[in-house]
Chains A and B, each alone.
Chain A
């Protein structure tokens, strides 16, 4: 059974803190993604990675960075958290070949509140 796990389900941080969100997949997938989900806006892509140490900006990368040191792990970093980064963060992975055309497998999400 495919599995994408995220380190926290709920997180509360203060403005200005550095925040790390971790994602691990056990399917040996090449591609990994970070999205944020906000009511009425669907999912918006923050960053994605198609290989270890490779990353590409998505549609809303400002205020975020990512790290992929190992194939199975993809981290999202908020360098200095702000209240407008309060959101649900979803991680996903997919096999290589079709890139973003492939089916994506999602983690359960991390609900982040920045005070």
Chain B
């Protein structure tokens, strides 16, 4: 079955330290993968998108993600967290088979001063 798993429901980091939000998906030929961010009381905003070009994708606000086909992972990273990064993050996968777009459950990121 097609699925997207965000391995942590909540991640807490200190300001200035690295961020790692993990996402695994069920194997698929040539998926499209996205990370969206949702700040409190706001809609989702695209952070970055992978569509079979370079495996390391750079997004807005210093975030990047690496597509690893062998591990079926698409983890989101940032070298240095900022207070404004506190939000909920969603990993999203588009599966060509069936044309389905599946959202992960979300990871809440807290940033401590």
Is A4 part of the contact surface with B, judged by Cβ < 8 Å?
Answer: yes
How far, in Å, is A103 (CB) from chain B's closest CB?
A: 5
How far, in Å, is B62 (CB) from chain A's closest CB?
A: 19
State the main secondary structure of chain A at its contact with B. mixed
Q: How large is the interface on B (under 10, 10 to 19, 20 to 34, 35 or more residues)?
A: 20 to 34
Q: How large is the interface on A (under 10, 10 to 19, 20 to 34, 35 or more residues)?
A: 20 to 34
**Residues 11-43 of B at the A interface (beta carbon under 8 Å):** 32, 34, 36, 41-43
How far, in Å, is B109 (CB) from chain A's closest CB?
A: 15
CA A109 to CA B32, docked complex, whole Å: 25
B46: chain A residues within 8 A (beta carbon): 103-105
CA A115 to CA B52, docked complex, whole Å: 47
B: residues with CB less than 8 A from A are 4, 9, 32, 34, 36, 41-46, 49, 51, 90, 94, 99-101, 103-106
